[in-house]
């Protein structure tokens, strides 16, 4: 007997535009080749534009400094100032950032005078005309050591000799579209989180104002006067956020869509190498990837991270987390040809009842996803992603039935 399909519940406040289901465009001229690095067992994407694309089209990955989507910015408040859209930072905070930059510089061995010189140079107010006039900037993406995302901007500027410390978007034409995207960072983050933080400045900047990149802030002086002077300065210390992809997501982008390359120690990895590497990192990678691939090929968005919140492997969303509440909590199991097998999560009735209750409390449905392996599959076969075509997936919905008559009349089994 088949389980009924319940339509997914839409979220009440949806402020996001749906871009595309997957980061593979329909127009072949657009580049959709992304680059990620495999560092310390994590797959990270560092280029900002690629991060936006990968995340917004398919909701892959998670920002390392954010709750879900990579929307970390140096300030929660953004303001428009003379045609530019900039994050707002108080004077005290600005000076704090300057101090940290100074500390980093001196830790690198610069003597005190050099440090002070640099800081003075850094904290000069910048005319907005200069900012707007700046056309194509260098897109240096040679980041410092990726152990921490924080780096003083001057360090990047060092080899370039004082040029714009951080990456800059292209000219105004290219800036327009990321501008409108970036113009909604705070409303997006608010629509994401279910807490009621106050809504950030609306996208009232329109397409006219330019977002000059993460290297600039608007500093407000803490004067007591009614009118507070705002100055545009360079950001002394910026945290660049990376997008972290789970192993399954990364492999799907590489193998399923062919739009991502994963590099390890600057060397690109082939698909088989990547498969073997991931299998060594996760013993059950084949099962979890098979389930992930299956749900993606049905057009749903599976997100990891359900483990800590709901006790399951995956959460299934329709279209994406900002649009709908998750419809299913998925527990991945493996089974062999005789449909038995060592369970990845050995259930007792007690744990199943608990999981079922939790899932019902958050208005989702508990789904057991069995990955069925053929018996004649050898270890060698499993060593290549070609084994996926022999696997099968069985979905089972676990539900509770209440025997008392009032309930039974309302919904059938």
Partner 1 sequence: MQIGLCDPHSLVGPRRQRRDCNQESCDWCGAHQADQPKTANSFKSVGSSTERGPRGMLLLLLRLVNMADQNKTGTEGKLFSEILSPSELFAARSRSHKIPVRGQKDFFPNDSDEQRQRLEQSLNEHWSLTSEERVERLGNLVKAVWIPSDQIVELQSPAGKFWQTMGFSANGKQYLLPEEALYLMECGNVQVFYRDLPLSIQDGYERFLSSATVTLQQYQVFGHLKRLGYVVHRFDPSSEPSSYARQLNLPQSRDRAGRQLKRKRSPSPTATCSYTEAQVESTIEKMEEDKCSLEGDDAKKLAASPDIQTATTSGADEGRSWWMTDDLGASDKELHHSPTSGSSRWDFSSIPFPDVGSSERHPSCLAPPEPSLLPGDLTVGVCDIASWRRKINLRMVKMSSKEQKREKDTRRRRWDVNKDREVRRCRNWAEYHELLARRQRKRKGRPAHLWNREVTPLHDPKQPISTGELLDKISVIKSTHLLEGASRLKGSEQWRICFNVYQPDTVADFKKSNPGKPYSRMCVCSFDGPVPDLRAIKLLAFQSGDIPVVFAVVDHGDISFYTFKDFQLPTDVFP
Near partner 1 by CB under 8 A: residue from 312, 331, 333, 373: 333
Q: Could you tell me how many residues of this chain bind partner 1 (CB under 8 A)?
A: 81
* Residue 344 interacts with partner 1 (CB under 8 A): yes or no: no
Residues with Cβ within 8 Å of 203's Cβ and at least 6 positions away in sequence, in order, are 180, 183, 184, 187
Near partner 1 by CB under 8 A: residue from 88, 247, 367, 382: 367
Q: What residues between 9 and 28 interact with partner 1 by CB under 8 A?
A: 18, 21-22, 24-28
Active site residue 364: yes
Near partner 1 by CB under 8 A: residue from 116, 178, 347, 377: 347
Nearest approach, Cβ of residue 349 and partner 1 (Å): 5
210 phi and psi angles, rounded to 5 deg: -105, 140
Query: Residues 62, 319, 364, 373: which is the catalytic one?
Result: 364
Going from the C-alpha of 203 to that of each of 49, 79, 209, 261, the distances in angstroms are 20, 10, 11, 34
Active site residue 392: no
Distance from C-alpha of 32 to C-alpha of 44, rounded to nearest angstrom: 17
Which span (29-37, 118-126, 190-198, 204-212) binds partner 1, by CB under 8 A?
A: 29-37
Query: Residues 317, 328, 370, 373: which is the catalytic one?
Result: 317
Active site residue 370: no
* Residue 269 interacts with partner 1 (CB under 8 A): yes or no: yes
- What b/e sequence results for 350-369 when a residue is b if at least 16 CB atoms lie within 10 Å of its CB, and e otherwise? eeeeebbebbeeeebbbbbb
Pick between residue 45 and residue 367 the one whose CB is nearest to partner 1: 367
Pick between residue 88 and residue 253 the one whose CB is nearest to partner 1: 253
Q: What residues between 270 and 289 interact with partner 1 by CB under 8 A?
A: 270-272, 275
Pick between residue 182 and residue 318 the one whose CB is nearest to partner 1: 318
Going from the C-alpha of 105 to that of each of 53, 122, 127, 158, the distances in angstroms are 34, 13, 26, 11
Residues 210, 83 contacting (CB under 8 angstroms): yes
Q: What residues between 188 and 247 interact with partner 1 by CB under 8 A?
A: none
- In this structure, how many other beta carbons lie within 10 angstroms of the beta carbon of residue 256? 18
Query: Residues 282, 325, 345, 392: which is the catalytic one?
Result: 325
Q: What residues between 179 and 198 interact with partner 1 by CB under 8 A?
A: none
DSSP string computed for 196-218 = -PPP---STTTTTSB---TTEEE
Which span (106-114, 208-216, 240-248, 339-347) binds partner 1, by CB under 8 A?
A: 339-347
- The angle that helices 91-107 and 153-160 make with each other, rounded to 10 degrees, is 60
* Residue 389 interacts with partner 1 (CB under 8 A): yes or no: yes
Nearest approach, Cβ of residue 193 and partner 1 (Å): 24
Which span (143-151, 207-215, 228-236, 335-343) binds partner 1, by CB under 8 A?
A: 335-343
Distance from C-alpha of 189 to C-alpha of 187, rounded to nearest angstrom: 5
Near partner 1 by CB under 8 A: residue from 132, 230, 276, 392: 392
Distance from C-alpha of 252 to C-alpha of 291, rounded to nearest angstrom: 11
Q: Which residue has the tokens 């299913």?
A: 328
- In this structure, how many other beta carbons lie within 10 angstroms of the beta carbon of residue 39? 16
* Residue 350 interacts with partner 1 (CB under 8 A): yes or no: yes
Q: What is the DSSP letter of 362?
A: T
Which span (36-44, 113-121, 233-241, 346-354) binds partner 1, by CB under 8 A?
A: 346-354
Near partner 1 by CB under 8 A: residue from 70, 200, 214, 256: 256
- Output the furthest CA–CA distance in the chain (Å, rounded): 83
Which span (77-85, 177-185, 193-201, 381-389) binds partner 1, by CB under 8 A?
A: 381-389
Residues with Cβ within 8 Å of 55's Cβ and at least 6 positions away in sequence, in order, are 61, 63, 69, 70, 243
Near partner 1 by CB under 8 A: residue from 9, 10, 13, 298: 298
Distance from C-alpha of 52 to C-alpha of 48, rounded to nearest angstrom: 6
Pick between residue 7 and residue 107 the one whose CB is nearest to partner 1: 7
Catalytically active residues, by annotation:
317, 325, 364
């Amino acid at each position: 007997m088949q389980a009924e399909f319940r339509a997914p519940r839409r979220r009440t406040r949806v402020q996001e535009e749906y871009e595309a289901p997957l980061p593979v465009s329909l127009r072949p001229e657009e580049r959709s080749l992304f680059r990620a690095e495999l560092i310390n067992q994590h797959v990270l994407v560092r280029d900002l534009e690629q991060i936006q694309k990968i995340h917004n089209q398919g909701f892959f990955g998670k920002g390392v400094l954010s709750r879900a989507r990579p929307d970390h910015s140096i300030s929660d408040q953004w303001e428009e100032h003379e045609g530019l859209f900039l994050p707002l930072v108080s004077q005290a905070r600005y000076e704090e950032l300057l101090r940290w930059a100074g500390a980093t510089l001196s830790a690198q061995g610069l003597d005190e005078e050099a440090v002070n010189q640099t800081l003075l140079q850094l904290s000069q107010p910048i005319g907005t005309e200069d900012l707007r006039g700046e056309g194509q900037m260098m897109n240096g993406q040679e980041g410092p050591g990726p152990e921490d995302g924080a780096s003083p901007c001057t360090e990047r500027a060092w080899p370039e000799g004082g040029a714009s410390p951080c990456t800059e978007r292209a000219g105004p034409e290219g800036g327009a579209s990321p501008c409108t995207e970036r113009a909604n960072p705070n409303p997006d983050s608010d629509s994401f989180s279910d807490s009621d933080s106050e809504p950030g400045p609306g996208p009232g900047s329109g397409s006219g104002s330019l977002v000059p990149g993460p290297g600039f802030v608007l500093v407000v002086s803490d004067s007591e006067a009614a009118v507070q002077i705002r100055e545009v300065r360079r950001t002394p210390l910026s945290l660049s956020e990376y997008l972290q992809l789970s192993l399954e997501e990364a492999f799907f982008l590489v193998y399923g869509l062919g739009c991502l390359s994963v590099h390890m120690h600057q060397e690109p990895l082939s698909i088989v190498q990547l498969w073997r590497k991931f299998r060594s990192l996760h013993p059950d990678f084949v099962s979890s990837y098979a389930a992930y691939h299956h749900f993606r090929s049905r057009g749903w968005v599976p997100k990891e991270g359900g483990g800590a919140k709901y006790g399951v492997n995956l959460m299934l969303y329709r279209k994406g987390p900002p649009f709908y509440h998750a419809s299913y909590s998925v527990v991945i199991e493996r089974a062999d040809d005789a449909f038995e097998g060592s369970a990845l999560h050995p259930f007792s009735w007690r744990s199943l009842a608990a999981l079922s209750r939790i899932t019902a409390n958050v208005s989702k449905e508990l789904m057991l996803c069995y990955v069925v392996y053929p018996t004649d599959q050898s270890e060698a076969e499993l060593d290549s992603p070609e084994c996926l075509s022999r696997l099968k997936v069985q979905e089972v919905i676990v539900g509770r039935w209440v025997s008392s008559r009032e309930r039974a009349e309302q919904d059938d089994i």
